[in-house]
Structure 1
Amino acid sequence: MSYKFYQNKACEYFPCHPVEGEEKFNCLFCYCPLYLLKKDCGGNFRYSHNIKDCSFCLIPHGEKGYDYIMSKMEEVMKRSAE
């Protein structure tokens, strides 16, 4: 289980999103590997000046974030090879 969760309370941005219950905030995917999936990532994002803004998305930081991201990694690998 420990490989699915990491927390860096020493980070100046911790937590980088407003949340309830910081003790469950997962920093493992500080940079979301699903960003390159654009609209197909499944997260709560918006576009601002043609730039994807993921600041409202908590998928990578939630309790089931690891499993969700891993379920999409085959698509990430496929697209990154294009």
Structure 2
Amino acid sequence: MQPKDTTDNEAFKGFTNHECPFMPCHKGVKREFNCLFCYCPLIAYECPGPYKVFIDANGMRRKDCSGCNLPHNGIKQSWNFIQKWLEQPVLWDGKPQTRFQVDLPEEAIPDYRPRTP
């Protein structure tokens, strides 16, 4: 088995689970959907993805990343994006996003209205 940085096989960079009952979980993905980062490894770090801050039932500040499709938009592109941001991670300070701003297309912005069956 070769180390991942010397192999020509890039299958480890992601996959698309077409059988997932939540697919598509994020709107606005234009490239092949990457399910590898279903739970984003940047949740505890500052990142350029659009997020909102909310306070949970225990009074803890949390990131709501449901409006972000950066870890999912294209297998190779999302892999490179995550690797870039994990090179020098900066812990999230619990404050609203001001350091980075990414504009997503209108169709990628989540609809927070309750769904009706």
TM-score, normalised via structure 2 length: 0.55
The equivalent of 2:64 in structure 1 is: 53
Shift of 1:20: 5.1
Q: 5+ residue gaps in structure 1?
A: none
Aligned residues: 75
Q: 1:19 to 1:26 in 2, by over 3 A?
A: same
Mapped partners of 1:26, 1:19: distance in 2:
13
The equivalent of 2:86 in structure 1 is: 73
Mapped partners of 2:80, 2:87: distance in 1:
13
Q: Which amino acid aligns with 1:73?
A: L
**CA RMSD in angstroms, aligned pairs only:** 2.1
What SS does structure 1 have at the residue aligned with 2:35?
coil
The equivalent of 1:19 in structure 2 is: 28
Mapped partners of 2:73, 2:84: distance in 1:
15
Q: Which runs of 4+ in 1 moved over 6 A?
A: none
Q: 5+ residue gaps in structure 2?
A: 1-9, 56-60, 92-117
Mapped partners of 2:68, 2:35: distance in 1:
13
The equivalent of 1:36 in structure 2 is: 44
Q: Percent identity?
A: 36
The equivalent of 2:97 in structure 1 is: none
TM-score, normalised via structure 1 length: 0.75
What SS does structure 1 have at the residue aligned with 2:44?
helix
Shift of 1:74: 3.0
The equivalent of 2:112 in structure 1 is: none
